[in-house]
Amino acid sequence: MSEFPSSRRESVVLYLKSLRDRIVADFETLEASQARFERSPWDYQKGSGGGEMSVIRGETFEKAAVNWSGVLGTKFPGSDADGPFFATGVSLITHMKNPKAPTVHFNIRYLETPEKFWWGGGFDLTPMGFPYAEDTAHFHAVAEKALSPFGPDIYPSYKERAAEYFYIPHRKRERGVGGIFFDHLNTGDLERDFALWKSVGDHFLEAIMPIYGRRLRETWSEADRRLQLERRGHYAEFNLVYDRGTRFGFLSGGNPEAILCSLPPLASW
């Protein structure tokens, strides 16, 4: 049976909102305080549609955001396309109180113009000064598991793209320990591309939850905290200077609060 019983947009949005809800529910099981995700809807001012921010600030998650958006605009921002567009996606970021627990970033998105449509996304891991080889190995093993049904060359290619994309030129190093990244996916096989895209989304929690299960039990010191805040500064530099999603959000007239949810609550230089 086709994965697209009605419109393509409707199927994509239903999946994204369901995935957002699953991630929020699993993350809340980790939170040591009574804090829960607070949802804030917003309207798109340069067209129609909007989105919903889901943000938590607690003892485990110093700040985390799991955001969904779906907007229709009149002029595509950037050079990838022209004219009116539809864009929808889920994007998340975590900034953990415990310095031994890494930041994780995840995004999957779908974009459409009158002439074409494509899929993109990925997830990547950024230890804030405390990389653990077993965490990196697990994270990448799950990423490979998500992509292996679609061909043996997909994971190595997407891993390489992540290493290239999440590179901080002025620091001369990658932002973290990598992950997977892809964009402009449209092979002409709609069902296959949608399945690959969903597989990335469906494997995200498997990639990160066991890592948090280990690292949130680690003890830490004030010196650890200082190193964490310094590395958060590097993270903020990348997101403000190089990240394409940040630029797309501002150029398209998105909600500034939702766009800047990726920034840490505290950082130092």
Alpha-carbon gap, residue 249 to 117, rounded angstroms: 18
CB 40 within 8 A of CB 67: no
- 95 catalytic? Reply is no
> Out of 105, 138, 203, 234, which one is annotated catalytic?
105
Question: Which secondary structure element, helix H or strand E, spans residue 228, and what is its range?
Answer: helix 222-241
Alpha-carbon gap, residue 256 to 188, rounded angstroms: 34
Closest to 19 (Cα-Cα) out of 257, 200, 260: 200
Q: Which fold has domain 8-262?
A: oxygen-dependent coproporphyrinogen oxidase (3.40.1500)
Please state the rounded mean pLDDT for residues 213-241. 97
pLDDT in tens, 206-225: 999 999 999 999 999 999 99
pLDDT in tens, 60-105: 999 999 999 999 998 887 777 778 999 999 999 999 999 999 999 9
Q: What is the pTM of this model?
A: 0.93
pLDDT in tens, 4-61: 334 789 999 999 999 999 999 999 999 999 999 999 999 987 788 999 999 999 999 9
pLDDT in tens, 119-136: 999 999 999 999 999 999
Q: Provide the mean pLDDT of the chain.
A: 93
Distance set, CA 144 to CA 113, 117, 137, 161 (Å): 31, 25, 11, 14
Alpha-carbon gap, residue 159 to 5, rounded angstroms: 32
How large is the C-alpha radius of gyration of the chain? 18
